[in-house]
Amino acid sequence: MPERFFKGIRATALAAAAGIALALAVAGADDARAEYGDVVINNFSDAAGMRPVVFPHWFHRIRFRCKVCHADLGFKFQAGGNQINMVKIIDGEFCGACHNGEIAWSVENCNLCHSAKPGTPTQVHESTVQRLVAPGGVQPAPARK
Amino acid sequence: MGRASFSVGSRVWLFALSGMLCLLWVSQVFPQERKWLPLAADGVHDPRSPALKQLQEPREALSRLAPDPHVGNQVRWVKALELGQINPRTNIFPETKVSVLDQDIIMSNTGSRPKVRFPHKQHSLWLDCAICHEQLFKSKAGGNNISMLSILEGQQCGLCHGAVAFPLTECDRCHSVPHGVPIPDAIIGK
């Protein structure tokens, strides 16, 4: 009888520990996320052997209102939908309107933008749809060719 | 004998479940203060990227702004703007016109949900009229067929809300006007 009693206690303790570990894992999984509105752009980067670009909306909206990029600079509201390449940027289009060494740091700082994990698909990170409809897997926005 | 082992087994599951429930309850009753993941652990940045030493961490910038503990960047962006905590540029080209429109639109065709109040002011603080008008939305109250289905698909309001403006799980922030209550100084749409 005592042997069975201790077996029961041990099993109970193990199960409680497993339950707590599972709850922590669920809570922890919720934490593994980039900042809301971060955009990953991987139209050309992977193919060119560069890390994909991370565009942090939060950083830019502290400094610029939406209209600066989405009206004056012509950024479409679609991750990967702008076909941005380095030639356009050096010509002063898109990111290059500010990232020219005058308003913000210049294009020779490749790594500051090209900083995502290689292979990360083009996406708006943490969008409601991504969170609710496809919580397990990222739904990348289609890159237009 | 068989009965005894069954009762041990069910007790085990009961304890496992109660352990989980206790932890979940604790996390609900004592909400954590705002936390932002470091870039190196956010799942998107390459932890081996040399940029991580130089890029600003979200915590450093966002912890100083008006709190929104549950959603998005955990920042009330409009409030941060109104309080002067941030002062984002309105234009980089000198010829760009800036116009803020202080006008509310009430949308009442919302079924059993409260009506929607659309405040032009808070939107035109950030955006230019031409971003929404006339392609996304006609400039006529009641002239647009807005539906939650298209919004959830990332169209109409969903172009920004759910991607960069507060997310679509915040129903009450838009559906904020009870039916049957007259709203002065508002334009009534569909």
Phi and psi, residue B33, nearest 5°: -70, 165
- ipTM passes above 0.95: no
- Average pLDDT in chain A: 82
**Of the candidate ranges A40-54, A128-142, B18-32, B109-123, the one whose mean pLDDT is the lowest:** A128-142
pLDDT of residue A145: 38
Output the pLDDT for position A24: 52
d(C-alpha A44, C-alpha A3), whole Å: 65
pLDDT band at A87 (very low <50, low <70, confident <90, very high): very high
CB pairs under 8 A between A and B: 181
Q: For A38, name the nearest residue in chain B, comparing CA atoms only.
A: B164
pLDDT the model gives residue B63 = 96
Distance, in Å, from the CA atom of B58 to the CA atom of B52, rounded to the nearest integer, reads 12
Query: B91 near A72, Cβ under 8 Å?
Result: yes
Q: Which residues of B touch A58 (CB under 8 A)?
A: 58, 61-62, 73, 75
Q: Determine the average pLDDT of the residues in A21-43.
A: 70
Q: Which is it for strands B115-119 and B104-107: parallel, antiparallel or unpaired?
A: antiparallel
What is this structure's pTM?
A: 0.78
Residues of B in contact with A72 (CB under 8 A): 91-93, 96, 128
Q: Domain-by-domain residue ranges, chain A?
A: 1-31, 34-136
Q: Are B160 and A121 in contact (CB under 8 A)?
A: no
Residue B84 at interface with chain A, using a CB cutoff of 8 Å: no
Nearest partner of B105 among B152, B138, B130, B68, judged by Cα: B138
Which member of B11, B42, B93 has the closest CB to residue A35? B42
Alpha helices in B117-181 (DSSP H): 120-126, 129-132, 148-152, 171-174
Q: B41, B47 in Cβ contact below 8 A? A: yes
Percent of chain A residues past pLDDT 90, beyond the cut: 61
Query: So what's the pLDDT on residue B66?
Result: 97
Q: What pLDDT score does A140 carry?
A: 46
CB contact under 8 A, A35 and B58: yes
Strands B175-177 and B115-119: antiparallel
Q: Which fold has domain A34-136?
A: Cytochrome C3 (3.90.10)
pLDDT at B69: 83
In percent, the amount of chain A with pLDDT more than 70 equals 70
Q: What is the mean pLDDT of residues A78-94?
A: 95
Nearest-CA distance B87 → chain A (Å): 7
Report helix, strand or coil for A34: coil
Which regions of chain B does DSSP assign to beta strands (E)?
A: 104-107, 115-119, 175-177, 186-189
**Residue spans of chain B under pLDDT 70:** 1-9, 23-32, 190
Name which of A6, A22, A40, A62 to mutate to probe chain B: the one with the most chain B Cβ atoms within 10 A of its Cβ.
Answer: A62
Q: How close A100 comes to chain B (CA, Å)? A: 13
Is B136 touching A (CB cutoff 8 A)? Answer: no
Helical packing angle, A2-31 and B2-29, nearest 10°: 30
Q: How many CB atoms lie within 10 A of CB A15?
A: 20
pLDDT at A15 over 70: no
